[in-house]
Chains A and B, each alone.
Chain A
Amino acid sequence: MRETWVIGAASNRFGKMKESGREAATEVGLAAIESAGIEPRQIGHTFVANAFGVAEHQAHVGPLINTGLGIPEVPSVTVESACSSSSAALHEAYVHVAGGFCDFALVVGAEKLSHLDTLAATSYFAIGADYPFEAKNGATFPGLYATLANVYQHTYRTTPEMFGSIAVKNHANAALNPHAHFQKAITMETYLGSPMIASPLRLYDCCPFSDGAAAVVVAAKEAVPHPVREPLVVRASARAGSIADMHDRPDLLGLPAARAAGAAAFRQAKMGPEDIDFAEVHDCFTIAEALALEDLGFFPKGAAARASLDGATARDGKFPVNPSGGLKAKGHPVSATGASQVVEIFEQFNGLAGGRSVPHAEVALAHNVGATGGSCSVHIFSRR
């Protein structure tokens, strides 16, 4: 396998896009290619994520993107893995490039749902779970994560402030991120006063419905003798699955796919949690950030929400988590999220993260979950 890098990255501002997912994907795709200092014709394969493209009456969006980039002859494929679609696309690009099938690959994820009302968007999200056995029995997407929060709270006797501290921290980080949907800090009072969506999850426990697009360029080291940016060396690209139905898993205190993908990534990188300087984790709900940090071994079981309240995961804490603001506050345009986590790490390593910079970071991890954990991707990146 060849050493593989991420050499370019771009994101638009998450929130509400005027343009279609296809237009946004092409725009960030070209921006990522230009940031890498290469030409579109050097791309050997495009890996696209656009899980809810059907909500825009568009499938097979890859050839449209490549046509827009002036490279219609380049092959493309759409990778669907719910909320982990673009990290799954990144994994496929890594396999292609590391395996020698092409030297340069474009990974682009885009989503547009803002033209739907909350009810329609909630219904789209629910079909990422097991429709007949979960959604049809009344579960919404927040409801499924709420059952995890319910069990966590019952088992570890947590307080609402512990979950609230995750929301407050991620909003504070997003306030410094020009890509973020919510560029506004919130207080604990705002969190505690927000309405219940699916008990014990309040409105400010939940990520927003966001539009957005993000892209990265993956390249073989040997094809880039003079990188124009500080490349991210891909030290691990791992994925795992688990029983799709949340209730049929052995326990509700974590996601088995995250544990497995994390363990596989640490094996690949020959590293452990102690080697990681900061992480972008999949905090679609505050409970998801706490579980991610425990599943990946950064905190003991039952300790992550408490540690968050103590400030351990803040930008200046002992282990910064989601300096971008995370899904919670940067926003969660489903298929753009995985690539967007890598954009954040790219900006951090290239000194482009401004006020949210994590000082002296050498190694970072990205953790991206598909729906309720049927899929999970974990990538580890280091400087050269």
Chain B
Amino acid sequence: MLRAHLLPSLDRADVSKGGITRTEELPHATHSIVEYVHGYEEDRTLRGFRSKKCGFVTATWSLRCPRCGEKDLTEVALSGTGKVAAYTVQTVPSDEFLNEAPYAYVVVDLEEGGRITGWMPEVRAEKDLAIGDQVHFVASYKPGVQFAKGGT
């Protein structure tokens, strides 16, 4: 039988020194992926984080800055307003967008810095949008970050 005093104490586990760590002591991101999805689906908000060191802003999920490795990341509320950095109008969708094609998949440069991706049901042909066009985040009737043409 294992004797309790021979086991490492979970209470005294220290992440920085390695060893056994309790789940709640593991490093956490500014928001989980579930919180991110809940944010745009339920609260109509977009979450992101900013690196204290290089200022890089992203809306993805990371424990350290993907650009510079910085650990001090601050949660930022993203405006969802910005300009199209790149786009494509897809006529062959994936299964979750089966009934939406054609629609645009867009990469958006946000006003406050950082890039975010989304889709635009109103853009049904290449000529309906251009790089540099202003777009804004809108509440969607289905999963996925949705944008519409113009500013907020």
Contacts and interface: CB of A to CB of B under 8 A. Distances in A.
Contacts of A42: none
Contacts of A271: none
A41 interface: no
Contacts of B89: 196, 198-199
A139 B98 contact: no
Given A133-B59, A248-B58, A118 B144 contact: no
A248 B98 CA distance: 26
A228 interface: no
B91 A139 contact: no
A247 B107 contact: yes
Contacts of A154: 131
Size class of the contact patch on chain B: 35 or more
Contact of B88 (A118, A120, A134, A199): A199
Contacts of B36: 132
A198 B90 contact: yes
Interface string B111-148: 00001111100000110000100000000000111000
A140 B125 CA distance: 16
B13 interface: no
A230 interface: no
B115 A143 contact: no
Given A132-B36, A134-B117, A245-B60, A118 B87 contact: no
A133 B118 CA distance: 9
A130 interface: yes
A126 B37 CA distance: 18
A223 interface: no
A329 B46 CA distance: 41
A382 to B, nearest CB: 36
Interface in A211-264: 243, 245-248, 250, 252
Given A138-B103, A252-B85, A133 B95 contact: no
Size class of the contact patch on chain A: 35 or more
A150 B88 contact: yes
A54 interface: no
A352 interface: no
Contacts, number: 121
Interface in A122-159: 122-123, 126, 130, 132-140, 142-144, 146-151, 154
A359 interface: no
A120 B95 CA distance: 7
Contacts of B144: 136-138
A75 interface: no
Nearest to B130: A154
Contacts of B143: 136
B131 A198 contact: no
A137 B36 CA distance: 12
Contacts of A134: 117
Given A132-B37, A133-B60, A119 B88 contact: no
A139 B131 contact: no
Contacts of B98: 119
Interface of B: 33, 36-37, 58-61, 66-67, 85-98, 100, 103, 105, 107, 115-119, 125-126, 131, 143-145
25 contacts: A120-B95, A123-B94, A123-B95, A123-B96, A132-B33, A133-B59, A133-B117, A137-B117, A138-B93, A138-B105, A138-B119, A140-B90, A143-B105, A147-B107, A149-B88, A150-B88, A151-B86, A198-B88, A198-B90, A198-B91, A243-B66, A245-B60, A247-B115, A248-B66, A248-B115
